Amino acid sequence: MPAETQIMRLPAVIERTGLSRSTLYRLIQSGEFPAPVRLARRCVGWPTDSVDSWLRSRLSEDNTRS
Protein backbone atom coordinates (compact mmCIF):
# COMPACT_ATOMS: atom_id res chain seq x y z
CA MET A 1 0.00 0.00 0.00
CA PRO A 2 1.55 3.34 -1.00
CA ALA A 3 2.33 5.79 1.80
CA GLU A 4 -0.23 8.31 0.51
CA THR A 5 -3.12 5.80 0.57
CA GLN A 6 -5.92 6.85 2.87
CA ILE A 7 -8.11 4.45 4.82
CA MET A 8 -11.88 4.76 4.81
CA ARG A 9 -13.93 3.55 7.75
CA LEU A 10 -17.31 1.84 7.29
CA PRO A 11 -19.53 4.97 7.35
CA ALA A 12 -17.38 6.59 4.65
CA VAL A 13 -17.48 3.44 2.48
CA ILE A 14 -21.27 3.27 2.83
CA GLU A 15 -21.55 6.94 1.89
CA ARG A 16 -19.20 6.67 -1.10
CA THR A 17 -20.74 3.49 -2.53
CA GLY A 18 -24.38 4.08 -1.65
CA LEU A 19 -24.60 0.49 -0.38
CA SER A 20 -26.21 -0.55 2.88
CA ARG A 21 -24.07 -2.17 5.56
CA SER A 22 -25.66 -5.58 4.99
CA THR A 23 -25.20 -5.40 1.21
CA LEU A 24 -21.59 -4.34 1.64
CA TYR A 25 -20.79 -7.30 3.90
CA ARG A 26 -22.70 -9.69 1.61
CA LEU A 27 -20.56 -8.51 -1.33
CA ILE A 28 -17.41 -8.98 0.77
CA GLN A 29 -18.48 -12.55 1.66
CA SER A 30 -19.06 -13.37 -2.00
CA GLY A 31 -15.72 -11.86 -3.03
CA GLU A 32 -17.36 -9.09 -5.07
CA PHE A 33 -16.11 -6.22 -2.88
CA PRO A 34 -12.62 -5.71 -1.43
CA ALA A 35 -12.14 -7.15 2.04
CA PRO A 36 -11.36 -4.67 4.81
CA VAL A 37 -7.90 -4.23 6.27
CA ARG A 38 -7.60 -4.86 10.01
CA LEU A 39 -6.23 -1.71 11.63
CA ALA A 40 -6.54 -2.83 15.24
CA ARG A 41 -8.26 -5.60 17.17
CA ARG A 42 -11.73 -4.08 16.72
CA CYS A 43 -11.06 -1.65 13.88
CA VAL A 44 -11.15 -2.20 10.12
CA GLY A 45 -10.98 0.07 7.12
CA TRP A 46 -10.70 0.03 3.36
CA PRO A 47 -7.96 1.64 1.29
CA THR A 48 -9.58 4.48 -0.66
CA ASP A 49 -7.95 3.32 -3.89
CA SER A 50 -9.49 -0.18 -3.63
CA VAL A 51 -12.99 1.26 -3.03
CA ASP A 52 -12.56 3.70 -5.93
CA SER A 53 -11.27 0.89 -8.16
CA TRP A 54 -14.33 -1.22 -7.30
CA LEU A 55 -16.62 1.71 -8.16
CA ARG A 56 -14.86 2.26 -11.49
CA SER A 57 -15.22 -1.43 -12.36
CA ARG A 58 -18.94 -1.31 -11.57
CA LEU A 59 -19.36 1.78 -13.73
CA SER A 60 -17.47 0.20 -16.64
CA GLU A 61 -19.60 -2.98 -16.33
CA ASP A 62 -22.72 -0.83 -16.50
CA ASN A 63 -21.41 1.08 -19.54
CA THR A 64 -20.63 -2.13 -21.44
CA ARG A 65 -24.18 -3.39 -20.89
CA SER A 66 -25.72 -0.19 -22.27
Q: Is 8 exposed, middle or buried (0-12, 13-18, 19+ CB in 10 A)?
A: buried
Q: What is the pLDDT of residues 2-46, one digit of tens each?
A: 568 899 999 999 999 999 999 999 999 999 999 999 999 999 999
Q: What is the pLDDT of residues 11-20, one digit of tens each?
A: 999 999 999 9
The predicted model scores a pTM of 0.85
CA angle 29/35/36 to nearest 5° reads 130
